[in-house]
Amino acid sequence: MDDFRRHMSRLRKDPAFAAAFDKKRAQAEVAYQIRRLREAKGLTQKELARKVGCSQQAISAIEQAGYGRHSLPLLRRIAEALDAEVFVALVAKRAA
């Protein structure tokens, strides 16, 4: 595991890699949170889709780690259906 961490540390020094990694990580976190909340509520994708006003296929896509077309209005509808809140934060980048 130490080798992996060292390798990742080296890779993250590359600004292009770091930006791509952070973007994908954020997408995966959103997907995971939606799926976790849906399952905790005991809802199927189809049931959530009905509550949100979209298709089951759309919910399936949103729950995929690589989905990159999240919109704030859609996330708010999903949050409402899951009795959750959307929290967005803009955080200053670290100085190089």
Task: Give the tens place of pLDDT for each residue, 13-48.
Answer: 888 888 888 888 888 999 999 999 999 999 999 999
Q: How far apart are CA 63 and CA 48, in angstroms?
A: 12
For position 45, which CATH number holds?
Answer: 1.10.260.40
pTM, rounded to two decimals: 0.75
Q: Is residue 93 part of a domain?
A: no
Q: Is residue 56 part of a domain?
A: yes
Q: Is residue 87 part of a domain?
A: no
The answer to whether residues 67 and 61 touch, using CB atoms and an 8 Å cutoff, is: yes
Number of domains in the chain: 1
Q: Is residue 32 part of a domain?
A: yes
**Per-residue pLDDT tens over the stretch 65-91:** 889 888 999 999 999 999 999 999 888
Cα 37 to Cα 10, 17, 23, distances in angstroms: 35, 30, 22
Q: How far apart are CA 62 and CA 77, in angstroms?
A: 13
Q: Is residue 50 part of a domain?
A: yes
Q: Is residue 39 part of a domain?
A: yes
Residue ranges of alpha helices (H) inside 13-90 are: 15-40, 45-52, 56-62, 72-81
Closest by CA to 43, choosing from 82, 84, 86, is: 82
- Domain housing 43: 2-81
Q: Is residue 86 part of a domain?
A: no
Q: Is residue 92 part of a domain?
A: no
